[in-house]
Amino acid sequence: MTAPDQTLPTNCRLCGYLCGLLARVEAGHVVDVKPDPNRYPYDPHIVNGCLRHRINPQFLEHPQRLNQPLKRIGARGSGRWETCSWEQALDDIAQRLGNLRQQFGAETLATSIGGARGVYWPLHRFMNLFGSPNNIGIGQICWNPQVWVNTLTFGWPIEYELDPDLTRCAVLWGTNPAESDNSLLWRTICQFTRQGGSLIVIDPRQTRTARRASLHLPLKPGTDAALALGFLHAIISEGLYDQAFVNDWCQGFEPLQDHISQYPPEKVAALTDLPASDIVQAARLFATQRPATQISGRGVDQIGANSVQALRAMAILRAITAGIDLPGASHLGQMPDFIPEIDLELTDHLPESQRTKQLGADQILLQTYSGYERVNAFTQRHARRLPHRYLTSAHPNLVWRAMQTGDPYPIKAMIVMASNPLLSHADSRLIYTALKSLDLLVVLDYFLTPTAMLADYVLPVAGTLERPVLQTDAGISNIAYGGPAAISPLAERRTDYDFWRELGIRMDQESYWQWPSLQACFADILAPVGLDWDSFCASGLYAPPRLYHQHENIDPATGEPLGFATPSGKVELYSTILEQLGYDPLPVHSPNETALTKPGFKENYPLTLLTGARQQPYYASEFRQFSQLRTHHPHPLAEISSQTAELISIQDGEMIWVETANGRARFQAKICEIRPEVVSVEYGWWFPELEASEPDLGGVWVSNANLLTTAEFETCDPLLGQWPYNGLPCRIYHADSSHMKLA
Ligand SMILES: Nc1nc2c(c(=O)[nH]1)N[C@H]1C(S)=C(S)[C@@H](COP(=O)(O)OP(=O)(O)OC[C@H]3O[C@@H](n4cnc5c(=O)[nH]c(N)nc54)[C@H](O)[C@@H]3O)O[C@H]1N2
Ligand SMILES: Nc1nc2c(c(=O)[nH]1)N[C@H]1C(S)=C(S)[C@@H](COP(=O)(O)OP(=O)(O)OC[C@H]3O[C@@H](n4cnc5c(=O)[nH]c(N)nc54)[C@H](O)[C@@H]3O)O[C@H]1N2
Ligand code: SF4
Ligand SMILES: [Mo]
């Protein structure tokens, strides 16, 4: 019996926003989509403004989309595959993992996840039950830094607010929503500036966002901590902070006051290469135009050692201007009313003896099991528990090295889900040799990515519109959104959840995989709030009213105000946890310029490279298969200033090499407004039209920004293990000449 043609509510999943769509379904296939005005983001203009949403029907039917499990039959990377059934693949993977565990211990299995895309707790649950602590992701340089820093400072992560009717000042710090957010935030920013709000943008590039700013501070890359300390200096010395909040609720103001005397505006002006008057003006705006909000992005997360310092100084800035728990500025998130991520992960099942084997556990201070426990001791007094495995991941660089060398023990197997490490992790060549050394590589994806080309098994995943979705902010806030699938998975695609469950069942985990389907899990997750799946889907949103000033509530046990979930019960301007860890309790500017002091280095690499600034319509390494999008944005771009272009006679549109000490990659030069010494390249570029086998691997060696980056463990920040994607010494030259240096 064929299903009747229908228009069904569902959600786009081509980025993290899950916009509500109406899908026209004919005979089990989606033939058209349009925005659903009744579900998030409630405004068809927003979804229509996103080029990607239109490709949903083609995304389901694209000729290169994976439809059946593939098993490698030739040499690794040879591109020779045979198709097999899911059952054959799962049986073989389970057997091989069982053998490897017996021979090398459970820690021999690593996993890789990507950005906010799929539902990752099933992977974490499997790993905990299997016994391996070696999950990796990109958390160190995306999301985790803010979660950790705000938890250290305020006792829990912060949610920023931006309300054009309330907010008077907004600082956008190292983020460019004009390109990275095609949804609500960018529209809200535009409305905010139209209504006369003061927008301060801190970015070395004159982005589309910066062009809307009342004040753009194009600082020298990597000097954000100095700038934030300069703001603090101006605000404190001019008495513009909130004395009542500081007296009642902040800990460590006096040492802070002494400390920031080292950062007067003139000194900060020299460090950041900005006019001192602009620094003071921005500080005054932020402190006096309240409510003032602060939104930061990857520009601050991806500057290596200076990132935590900058984020700490920014948190302090928020605190002393009483910018938390203030409508229009920000609020502390809440623990969810529904089942939180941490209870889905089952970390308690991972024995202590396995936790200590996590790669990096003995060197990284916070992003480890012991770091987590140290912080959790305080948050759980307030009945709050952060997700576990995102914040305790192994260090990727050590994982690649263990694959390659067997040191400190062999990593022989990896399962990659919703990530493409050859494009998104630092040092693609290291990753290539690491993946080539494996006994077993399994990749779950929609397409045969360069990473998948090296796999033993590539498994076809059911994706956007083919599966229900439920996004829950990893359990750090009380919000859930999502909706139903429009159609059943096409061909032999299955959900990621089905894979982990089926593999788990084959590895003696049956009793922990009680839900037969993803939808059944989602229904149980939401059950505590009294919503069944269908009623949830009607609006696609669970978001109870925000709570403010929870710290003032009286704790019935003590009769005292609850305070903040930090060791002192106050907002920790001076972080006692960081002090205990031997890390700076007050933020400092500490430029990481060791490479530049090597003889000849500065002369050889006179420019400063940013990698990864987002550009529409792509998302990380995705969507290069879609001709509609390629026509819109055909080439990987390197932005340079007209001064630099003139100096080495580069024309707009010319192909150039960008080279660092780590390697080189080719981009099309785009001359634009950017600091003169800065080059900014896109990331995620490969060419699905090229050979899907060695040596091409889909063009992964041509324009891949991560050929230029490195994350050597020894040079990473000791607190979280962050590596830099921005602020790297580089040089550029014409692509048709071999090694012409910048004079
Ligand atoms: N140089 C540089 N590198 C960077 C960055 C940068 O700015 N500069 N940014 C970093 C950041 S912030 C991030 S978040 C990462 C992103 O890095 P990743 O998340 O690894 O992103 P992709 O490289 O696009 O890989 C995602 C893959 O998952 C597949 N996929 C999408 N959805 C699903 C799903 O639901 N299930 C499965 N199984 N597969 C799915 C896609 O087809 C794609 O191949 O990159 C990081 N890397
Ligand atoms: N179209 C599109 N949208 C995306 C993504 C995508 O790949 N494509 N990726 C998604 C993901 S995973 C993420 S994490 C978000 C990221 O969202 P954003 O953080 O908004 O992303 P970016 O465009 O990388 O913005 C970082 C900005 O920081 C600037 N910057 C670089 N170095 C420095 C520095 O040292 N200091 C300061 N202050 N600024 C600096 C860059 O010039 C850039 O404009 O976007 C998401 N949205
Ligand atoms: S912003 Fe665009 S790609 Fe992202 S979910 Fe919404 S419609 Fe899809
Ligand atoms: Mo990200």
Output the 3-class SS for 74-90: CCCCCCCEEECCHHHHH
Atom of ligand 3 nearest to the CA of 13: 5
pLDDT digits (tens, 9 = 90+) for 404-450: 999 999 999 999 999 999 999 999 999 999 999 999 999 999 999 99
Give the pLDDT of residue 40. Answer: 87
Cβ(269)–Cβ(275) below 8 Å? yes
**685-692: average pLDDT:** 98
Give the pLDDT of residue 597. Answer: 62
628: Cα separation from own chain's centroid:
26
pTM of the full predicted structure?
0.97
Atom of ligand 1 nearest to the CA of 451: 44
Percent of the chain at pLDDT > 70 equals 98
Give the pLDDT of residue 144. Answer: 96
Distance (Å, whole) CA 405 – CA 398: 10
Tell me the HSE value of 491 on the side-chain side, using a 13 A CA sphere. 20
pLDDT digits (tens, 9 = 90+) for 515-543: 999 999 999 999 999 999 999 999 999 99
SS3 per-residue string spanning 586-602: CCCCCCCCCHHHCCCHH
pLDDT digits (tens, 9 = 90+) for 388-401: 999 999 999 999 99
Nearest alpha-carbon partner for 56 in 486, 518, 684, 537: 486
DSSP state at residue 674: B
Helix (H, G, I), strand (E, B) or coil at 264: coil
Tell me the HSE value of 514 on the side-chain side, using a 13 A CA sphere. 8
Q: Cα of 621 to ligand 1 centre, how many Å?
A: 6
Q: Cα of 140 to ligand 1 centre, how many Å?
A: 14
**Cα angle, residue 380 at apex, residues 377 and 382 outer, rounded to 5°:** 125
Cβ(199)–Cβ(189) below 8 Å? yes
What is the signed CA dihedral for 684, 690, 693, 697, rounded to 10 degrees? -20
Q: Cα of 116 to ligand 4 centre, how many Å?
A: 7
Give the pLDDT of residue 400. Answer: 98
149: Cα separation from own chain's centroid:
15
Helix (H, G, I), strand (E, B) or coil at 215: strand
Give the pLDDT of residue 3. Answer: 60
Of 117, 120, 706, the residue with max ligand 1 atoms within 8 A of its CB, to mutate for a pocket test, comes to 117
The residue whose CA is least distant from atom 43 of ligand 2 is: 613
Q: Quick one: residue 67, left, alpha or beta (phi over 0 = left, psi -120 to 50 = alpha)?
A: alpha
pLDDT at 491 over 80: yes
Atom of ligand 2 nearest to the CA of 142: 14
Q: Is 118's C-beta closer than 6 angstroms to any atom of ligand 1?
A: yes
Distance (Å, whole) CA 569 – CA 5: 58
Give the pLDDT of residue 4. Answer: 67
Give the pLDDT of residue 476. Answer: 95
Let me know how long the chain is: 743
pLDDT digits (tens, 9 = 90+) for 249-299: 999 999 999 999 999 999 999 999 999 999 999 999 999 999 999 999 999
Residue 53: C-alpha distances to residues 20, 102, 231, 480, 617 (Å): 10, 46, 40, 21, 10
Q: Cα of 684 to ligand 2 centre, how many Å?
A: 13
Q: Is 726's C-beta closer than 6 angstroms to any atom of ligand 2?
A: yes
Residue 266: C-alpha distances to residues 19, 150, 261, 275, 410 (Å): 46, 29, 12, 8, 52
Task: Look at 462 and 737; give whichever has higher pLDDT.
Answer: 462
Q: Is 681's C-beta closer than 6 angstroms to any atom of ligand 1?
A: no
Kindly state the tokens that stand for 439. 């006994």
How would residue 738 be classed by pLDDT, with cut points 50, 70 and 90? very low
Atom of ligand 3 nearest to the CA of 52: 3
Give the pLDDT of residue 739. Answer: 40
561 strand-pairing partners? 554
**Cα angle, residue 139 at apex, residues 220 and 495 outer, rounded to 5°:** 135
Kindly state the tokens that stand for 214. 């009342």
DSSP state at residue 347: G
pLDDT digits (tens, 9 = 90+) for 111-166: 999 988 889 999 999 999 999 999 999 999 999 999 999 999 999 999 999 999 99
Q: Cα of 331 to ligand 1 centre, how many Å?
A: 29
pLDDT at 509 over 80: yes
Of 14, 17, 65, 138, the residue with max ligand 1 atoms within 8 A of its CB, to mutate for a pocket test, comes to 138
Q: Cα of 430 to ligand 4 centre, how many Å?
A: 21
Of 34, 53, 616, the residue with max ligand 3 atoms within 8 A of its CB, to mutate for a pocket test, comes to 53
Distance (Å, whole) CA 724 – CA 614: 16
Report the mean per-residue pLDDT for the chain: 95
Q: Cα of 405 to ligand 3 centre, how many Å?
A: 41
Nearest alpha-carbon partner for 333 in 162, 156, 167: 156
